[in-house]
Structure 1
Amino acid sequence: MDDVKTVFVEGIGGAKLAVHAMGDTGARPLVLLHGLFSSAEVNWIKFGNARILADAGFAVFMPDLRAHGRSDAPHDPAAYPADVLVQDLAAVVGALGLTRYDLGGFSLGARTAVRGVLAGLVPDRLVLGGMGLSGLAGWARRSAHFVDAIDRFGTIERGDKAFVAQAFMKSMKIDRVAARLLLSSVDDTPPEAIASITMRTLCVCGADDHDNGSAQDLAAALPDAIYAEVPGNHMSSVTFKDMGRTIAEFLA
């Protein structure tokens, strides 16, 4: 990560949020949000996709979400009001002084990007990775799955549907108290709400990724969107450079 610069900005309630940056700071800004239990390093930097986007002429800004990576993970329930990630995203955009920028996210990051736009953020273009239409509307079911994995952490056997989530939490050294609080702050997004998202949007998803429903259906429901398929499933699609190349081509 020698070419990655990290700054800390203040999120809602004073939480310190790590923002990792790559690329020419005078280039076109692109904000990328990672998925649940992950980090900017794992989703965007480690496997070379941030490098691809920086080389394509973007200043890539990658926050670690609250309770993830190098950002604060408070244990006070008051630190997790409704849509706290959206509020943090707005704080990051403001702290960086961004006015014209593109916004993207993967999984929980995509959900946060959508809700950020619905809350008033106006990126020029939007990238939604690993997200389908039912994944936005059915968050309560997905959240319950992860809460269950947290509550049964350490006892989940291979073959259990929660085993992969447990293994990922272990590898990422997730603060489970903070993560459980964070999960309670994210709400469903009804399909009819996304009709107001009018900027050009890329819905990019792994060929074997069905975790959040159909990305094709999401693209069809948005006023101005295209669908692109890359290799991999929900866990592996971010490890292929096809993800970065597809995003770069869309934003070119």
Structure 2
Amino acid sequence: MSIEPDYFEARDGVRLAWREMGEGAPLVLLHGLFSSAEVNWIKFGTAARIAEAGYRVIMPDLRVHGSSDAPHGAEHYPPDVLVDDLQDLVAHLDLADFDLGGFSLGARTSVRAVVAGMRPRRLILGGMGLAGLAGWQRRGRFFKRAIAEYDSAKRGDDTWLSIQFMKTMKVDRIAAGLLLDSFTDTPPEALAALTMPVLVVCGDKDQDNGSAEELVAALPDARLRTIPGTHMSSVTEPELGEAIAAFLTA
């Protein structure tokens, strides 16, 4: 299934896209790094499963991803720019009461938004562990290296699969490098801001962002749902949509 995007203008004039599916209570879902709303949420049926449960699923393409623009000026990448974009989307759609979630980078961005003052009813953090929030520098160096090795990496190199995914998604490497520099860490003590119910959903072979169990233990009101898969494959599993729908309708 393919859904045509709608567009809005962020506060710095950059054109950003979002897609919607379903009717009912709004849920904003943010995709992972180098992915898109279509690949992360629509292609494998996750959004459809949640929409069937009675939700209006709102799925932006993050800046530099999917159908959204990928500007090259450094002025378009202040710290936490993706939080700014999320705030602008919420304002554009006039959302006053909504749930929020994301996978990997989308989960990091969701946490940063709550730390900055956003107050969704419930929060969904996919493919995320405690180290992925507090220790971005290690992951950041890996993705910077993937960009640098884009044309030279060989099969078997640790960056190979990420680079192939970047090529499939036609990622703009200049813009991606600028975006990586905008990401900021969330120290464990800042997680006290996440007072709403939180679902941490993670693949049983996914340690890319550290321990999901440690993240649950660090949150005031969180539960863990383990689903099949690695960091790359868990988003393709039907259990992802089922876990989110079950959490929202409990």
Q: Alignment partner for residue 54 of structure 2, among 53, 57, 63? A: 57
Matched, 1:72 2:69: yes
Q: Using the TM superposition, give the Cα deviation of residue 158 of structure 1 relative to its aligned residue in structure 2, in angstroms.
A: 1.3
Q: Using the TM superposition, give the Cα deviation of residue 227 of structure 1 relative to its aligned residue in structure 2, in angstroms.
A: 0.4
Give the match for residue 183 of structure 1.
180
* Partner Cα separation in structure 2 for residue 68 and residue 251 of structure 1: 27
Any idea what the Cα deviations from partners look like across 1:108-164, whole Å, max 9, x if unmatched? 000000000000110000000000001101101101100111011110011111111
Amino acid at match of 1:14: G
Any idea what the Cα deviations from partners look like across 1:6-34, whole Å, max 9, x if unmatched? 2101123111110100002xx10000000
Give the match for residue 244 of structure 2.
247
Any idea what the Cα deviations from partners look like across 1:31-84, whole Å, max 9, x if unmatched? 000000000000000000000011110000000000000000000111001100
Give the match for residue 170 of structure 2.
173
Q: Using the TM superposition, give the Cα deviation of residue 188 of structure 1 relative to its aligned residue in structure 2, in angstroms.
A: 1.1
Amino acid at match of 1:114: V
Instruction: Tell whether the 8 Å contact from 1:131 to 1:203 is kept in structure 2 after alignment.
Output: yes
Matched, 1:213 2:210: yes
Aligned 1:86-165 pairs, distance under 5 A: 86-165=83-162
Give the match for residue 20 of structure 2.
21
Instruction: Tell whether the 8 Å contact from 1:201 to 1:224 is kept in structure 2 after alignment.
Output: yes
* Partner Cα separation in structure 2 for residue 148 and residue 65 of structure 1: 21
How many residues end up aligned between the 2 structures? Answer: 249
Q: Structure 2 length normalisation: TM-score?
A: 0.98
**SS in structure 2 of the partner of residue 13 of structure 1:** coil
Runs of 4+ in 1 over 6 A off after TM superposition: none
* Partner Cα separation in structure 2 for residue 137 and residue 117 of structure 1: 15
Gaps of 5+ in 1: none
Percent identity, aligned pairs only, is 58
Gaps of 5+ in 2: none
Q: Structure 1 length normalisation: TM-score?
A: 0.97
Give the match for residue 8 of structure 1.
7
**SS in structure 1 of the partner of residue 111 of structure 2:** helix
Amino acid at match of 2:41: W
Instruction: Tell whether the 8 Å contact from 2:5 to 2:67 is kept in structure 1 after alignment.
Output: no
Amino acid at match of 1:129: G
Q: Using the TM superposition, give the Cα deviation of residue 5 of structure 1 relative to its aligned residue in structure 2, in angstroms.
A: 4.9
* Partner Cα separation in structure 2 for residue 138 and residue 11 of structure 1: 28
